[in-house]
Structure 1
Amino acid sequence: MDERRTVLAEIPDQLKLPVALAMFTGLRKGDVLSLTKGAIRDGKIWRRTNKTGQELSLPIHPDLAELLARYSQHDAITVAATTNGTPWTESGFNSSFIKALAKLKQEGKIGDGLTFHGLRHTVGKLLVEAGYDIDTVRRWLGQRTFAMAAYYTETADTSQRMREVVAKLDPLGSKSRT
């Protein structure tokens, strides 16, 4: 969580919105960079994903709404844009993003292993940790299969849920006798 906050606070302004979109929605980089302003309406992000063709209707988190209001004031048709107000190319975004993360790493503000796609895994993990089932995660991330949703959530900390399980588990029926 600290690294996510640091990245959002420290990266250049033109990177904040695409990173925030991935951080709050789990959208793939191609979907984030091609997201048009018209796809945001009625408090939701409406998107057919590039990879799976799944239709998404994702409610906009209040923190993301604040960032959208602050950083989408430009002439590009896309939500995220370069400093020149033009849509990002994937290679241009990759170059800027990698340089920004390298600077933060060199300054000791983040550790190894942060990637843009890792935000997708983080969203899946956070959804499971918040108590949502794999079907909800699958639908939120626009996955076609449960297996892919499970893949994106395998590192979730489920220890609290396991404590709840053991509190209810009663193989000998002793809880019903007391």
Structure 2
Amino acid sequence: MYLDRTNRQRSESMSTKTLAENRQRELEQSLSTGTYVDPTAGKVRLGEIAEKWLESRHELRPSTWWKYRGLLDNHVLPRWGDLPLNAITKEDVAVWVAKLVRSKDQGGSGLGPSQARHAYRVLSMVLGWCVPARLPSNPAKGVTVPVAPDAEHVYLTYRQVELLATAAGTLRTKYNRPTAGAAVNRVLILLLAYTGLRWGEAAALLVRHVDLANRRIRVVRTFYELGGVQHVGPPKTGKARTVAIPASLVPELRALIAGRDDDELVFRTARGLSLRANNWRVREFNAAVAAAKLKVKGLTPHKLRHTAASLAIAAGADVKVVQQMLGHRDAAMTLDVYGHLWPDRLDVVADALDVGRAAAVAELAAA
């Protein structure tokens, strides 16, 4: 017999006195250290807890919430939904992760490493949410997950950026009329390539977010789509940021937004509608790549963001500047993605140390 954290009387039976005494010591220690877990709390099905966990994530962007919803429905709940929390083991989670990336003809789910990592992460977050109230520890913690292959980055040169922007601004339909985005394509591509804005952030810019006098853009929102419907939300990290505009782009932006009201979109179709990501990529961007005759494999609008980072680094920007420009959560993420672009400065540092040492040696020799 013992009292739990709520002073409720509990009892457990053991087959021997020794086991009972050992269990008594364990209970006393867990109660004193605050790690006690009610044995009945872990008997709840994971599916029930997963629904509560997802409903509690009010801070998530709708697109992220629905992504988690899909991962739960398609991968997590079919395997774990009916099991009690305390029946889930690290070994079983490891086997499940391995099956996620196994091909379907071998009894697996056929997921790529990245998608498998996302599914595992959702399961781990649900289980972690249960610690310490329902579980003493997270059984998914420490499971080895598939390593996602390094993304193949594409970096355009200044010349390629200019060729692409010019081609995009002169696109014509088969009826020899300007395409829906021809009037804004040039400035949009230049802005993406020289500021590092995400496409959705640029597409959602309002005139009042552009300060041409101080050459600044305030990034406070983005476009995203759910079920084919366009929505407006905060930037990916949830935080606003300020981005510098190269002086050469100011005249082009000024001409584009001249006479516009503050609450009008900077980039819009010929009919005054907002740009849609898939339509713009297929009908405008891909057509411009072909028209510019750029033989660059894997070139997408998002690769212009990588281009902006590479050009900034080549121009001497340090990691903190690039982090702020791109809106990364921390400098570690910036280094993970673009660290290989910073020049090797080991010899520069070593040479500077030599200069300092030589001066000290000379000073001592003259004394």
Q: TM-score, normalised by structure 2?
A: 0.42
Alignment partner, residue 166 of structure 2 = 9
- Contact preservation (8 Å) 1:45, 1:57: yes
- Contact preservation (8 Å) 2:281, 2:300: no
Q: Deviations over 1:45-92 (max 9, x none)?
A: 111252112221223211121221233358682111223332211222
The one-letter code sitting in structure 2 at the alignment partner of 1:98 is N
Match of 1:24 among 194, 202, 227: 194
Change (3 A) 1:157 1:138: closer
Change (3 A) 1:155 1:85: farther
Alignment partner, residue 130 of structure 1 = 315
- Distance in 2 of aligned mates of 1:162 and 1:2: 31
Q: TM-score, normalised by structure 1?
A: 0.81
Q: Deviations over 1:100-122 (max 9, x none)?
A: 213333xxx44333221112112
Flag the structure with more relative contact order, 1 or 2, with Cα contacts below 8 A and sequence separation at least 6: 1
The one-letter code sitting in structure 2 at the alignment partner of 1:91 is N
Equivalenced residue count is 174
Alignment partner, residue 279 of structure 2 = 92
The one-letter code sitting in structure 2 at the alignment partner of 1:177 is V
Please give the root-mean-square deviation of Cα atoms over the aligned residues, in Å.
Answer: 2.7
Alignment partner, residue 41 of structure 2 = none
- Distance in 2 of aligned mates of 1:137 and 1:85: 33
- Contact preservation (8 Å) 2:196, 2:309: yes
Counterpart check, 1:103 vs 2:295: no
Q: Deviations over 1:114-143 (max 9, x none)?
A: 221112112222222222221121111111
The one-letter code sitting in structure 1 at the alignment partner of 2:188 is P
Counterpart check, 1:158 vs 2:328: no
Alignment partner, residue 51 of structure 1 = 236
Off by >4 Å, runs of 4+ in structure 1: 73-76
- Contact preservation (8 Å) 1:74, 1:81: no
SS at match of 2:242: strand
Structure 1: segments with no counterpart, 5+ residues: none
- Contact preservation (8 Å) 2:168, 2:287: no
The one-letter code sitting in structure 1 at the alignment partner of 2:314 is E
* Structure (1 or 2) with the larger CA radius of gyration: 2
- Distance in 2 of aligned mates of 1:103 and 1:2: 15
- Contact preservation (8 Å) 2:218, 2:242: yes
Change (3 A) 1:65 1:98: same
Counterpart check, 1:142 vs 2:324: no
